[in-house]
Structure formats: C-alpha cells, structure tokens
Amino acid sequence: MTDMEAAIKTVVTTFISSSKGKDNLDKKGFQKLVSKQLGGIMEDTNSSSAVEELKRGLDENNDGKVSFQEYLSLIGYVANSLSQSKCGTNADAS
Amino acid sequence: MTDMEAAIKTVVTTFISSSKGKDNLDKKGFQKLVSKQLGGIMEDTNSSSAVEELKRGLDENNDGKVSFQEYLSLIGYVANSLSQSKCGTNADAS
C-alpha cells in the first residue's frame, strides 16, 4: 500500500471508528474526533464551544450531525490550511 | 502527530511533490500521481486514457490542469468509495 492509500484509509477508518459504524458523527463523536485527532494542527480543539461552532459550519443540512461528506469538507479545509502554510513560510513542516 | 494528522499531511505533500511546488498538476504530474499512488485502490490507473478521463471529470474550471481543490475532490471520491466498500462487505479492509 502506498502512503497515499494508507492516508485515505486512515481518513475513512477514523470516521468509522468515531461514529461507531454509523453514517453520522453525533456531537460527542465529533468532539472526540477533533480533540483526539486534530489537536496538533487545529486550534481550540479542546474547547467544546469552538468545536461546536466548527460542527455548525460543516453541518450543511443542519441536522446537528456530521455526515461523511461533511467530514470530508473538514479534511479539505485542514488540508487547505496546511497547504497554504507549507507553500508560504513552510512552518510546521516536520 | 496523530494518524489523522499524518494522513492529511501525506495528502498535502503528495500534491506538492507531484506538482513540483506549483499550484496545479499538469497532465503528466496527474498521471504520475494516480498511477504511482492510487494503483492499489483505483482501477485502470495505468491507462492514460482512463486517467485523462478522470482528470476531465475533476477539472471543474476546464483549464486542463488539476488544482489542489480539484485534487481534494478526488481524495473525497476515493474515500467515499472506500467507505462504502468498508461499510458493506468489508472487502479489502487489510
């Protein structure tokens, strides 16, 4: 398996384990995923109000949950931020 | 760094190395990325006509290149396929 394939699998399996196999992440599952998995590249991941606000931003159909599709938007958002910082000052490239 | 952070970084650095630091992947860069990195989870990655068709599908602004944003759609697409196969028969879960 290539790095890229492993990376995509990690993205998928992280969602599945956080949602316990359901189609959506509920509030608790999403908070846990963000705080446990993204604390190193996002800010305020331990603030439940900040994470709740993030969830509202992702939750396009306003059902209070984060679907796999909505979760992929988050990955895209984080990847974009990272890509900009790498192409710019190259900060945090380690 | 968590698995998820490493995965997102891999997605970003793979694009950067394939585009040689440019904003877009040209035809050759895209073909190389797909055949070298995604051959294990996508079909026909060694067929340049199939990969060209894939590129056309991603290339929303029809400039013949694949932007980072368009590349993220590909990741989402692959992740979606993988997620469906995992939730279904659980094939290829290794």
Closest among A36, A69, A67 to A51, alpha carbons compared: A36
B78: CATH: 1.10.238.10
Residues A16-52: tens digit of each pLDDT: 999 999 999 999 999 999 999 999 999 999 999 999 9
Cβ separation B5–A37 shorter than 8 A? yes
Please say if the pLDDT value at position B90 is more than 50. no
Question: A33 in a domain, yes or no?
Answer: yes
Question: Which tokens go with B11?
Answer: 């997605």
Residues B17-42: tens digit of each pLDDT: 999 999 999 999 999 999 999 999 99
Question: B91 in a domain, yes or no?
Answer: no
Question: A64 in a domain, yes or no?
Answer: yes
Q: How many CB atoms lie within 10 A of CB B31?
A: 20
ipTM metric: 0.87
Question: B18 in a domain, yes or no?
Answer: no
Q: What is the mean pLDDT of chain A?
A: 91
Question: A67 in a domain, yes or no?
Answer: yes
Question: B34 in a domain, yes or no?
Answer: yes
Q: Which residues pair with A70 in a beta bridge?
A: none
Please say if the pLDDT value at position A7 is more than 90. yes
The residues of B whose Cβ lies within 8 A of any Cβ of A are 1-16, 21, 36-41, 68-69, 72, 75-76, 78-80, 82-83, 86-87
Residue A67 sits in which domain range? 27-94
Question: Which tokens go with A24?
Answer: 């959506």
Question: B65 in a domain, yes or no?
Answer: yes
Q: How many domains does chain B have?
A: 1
